Amino acid sequence: MVYGQTEEKELIELAKEGSHAAFEELIERNHKKIFKSVYVFSKSCQDTEDVLQQTWIKAWKNMGRFKEKSSFSTWLYRIAKNNFFDLMRKYKSRKVVFSDDLEVIEGISMKDGLLSNDTISNPSESLEDKEATRKIRSLIDSLPKDHKEVITLLIDKDMSYKGIAEKVKIPIGTVMSRIFYAKKQLRKKVKNLSSYDAKTKD
């Protein structure tokens, strides 16, 4: 069902009743506003997206506790702000800087042939490009099955959370959670790989 013209109050009630589609519409309407608010603190797009992923998950799990004493966006902002400061405390108030390599991974599309076997066997590709492609494929393939499935649909098929939820037949909140942890694992693997490569070059 399309909720583009539905009033926010009705969407909130539907989301409280368990409508994933209504919740996704609420998130879509508020994403830009909450992103900007968190970015003021983080100054990092990647940190902000991580905070927002956790925010959507917590908001979905706690929809029944939203008493509507404030606007929905204000409620989301409070959750996001708490998540951000939790992240900062976790890293002992140090700025969290993530590898740009993950952005490269997220920009790769198998439908464009960048991760296809043809690309790897293409003699016109440089050895460095081929090796980078192999490493990226290896990192994604090494993820747990459930996480690999959703991150592949997100990155390679450019599917929405709703589309992934329908295809895999799991709640949209579970999709959000799996994607969040898949990205987290990829980031860690990229960091470890970069450290290993640096040591081998010394």
Please spell the DSSP secondary structure of 96-126, one letter per residue: P---THHHHHHT--GGGTTTSHHHHH-TTS-
Note whether residue 95 is domain-resident.
no
- Count CB-CB contacts under 10 A for residue 108: 15
Per the structure, the complete domain to which residue 121 belongs is given by: 101-201
Burial class, 192, CB count within 10 angstroms (exposed 0-12 / middle 13-18 / buried 19+): exposed
169 and 133 in a single domain? The answer is yes
Of 90, 111, 132, the residue that ends a domain is 90
19 and 77 in a single domain? The answer is yes
Domain count across the chain: 2
With tokens 């980078």, the residue in question is 132
| pLDDT tens track for 95-138 | 444 333 444 444 433 333 334 444 434 444 445 555 656 777 78
Of 90, 121, 142, the residue that ends a domain is 90
Distance in Å from the first CA to the final CA of the chain: 57
With tokens 């799996």, the residue in question is 178
- Chain centre distance of CA 111: 20
- pLDDT number for residue 106: 42
| pLDDT tens track for 42-74 | 777 778 888 898 999 999 999 999 988 889 999
Note whether residue 2 is domain-resident.
no
145 and 164 in a single domain? The answer is yes
**pTM score:** 0.53
Alpha helical stretches, state H, the chain: 8-16, 20-42, 45-61, 72-90, 101-106, 117-121, 127-141, 145-155, 161-168, 172-201
126 and 62 in a single domain? The answer is no
Q: What is the mean pLDDT of the chain?
A: 75
- Count CB-CB contacts under 10 A for residue 161: 22
Note whether residue 39 is domain-resident.
yes
CA gap 79, 32 in Å, rounded:
15
Sign of the four-CA dihedral 102, 107, 111, 112: negative
| pLDDT tens track for 153-183 | 887 777 888 888 889 998 887 888 888 888 8
CA gap 111, 128 in Å, rounded:
21
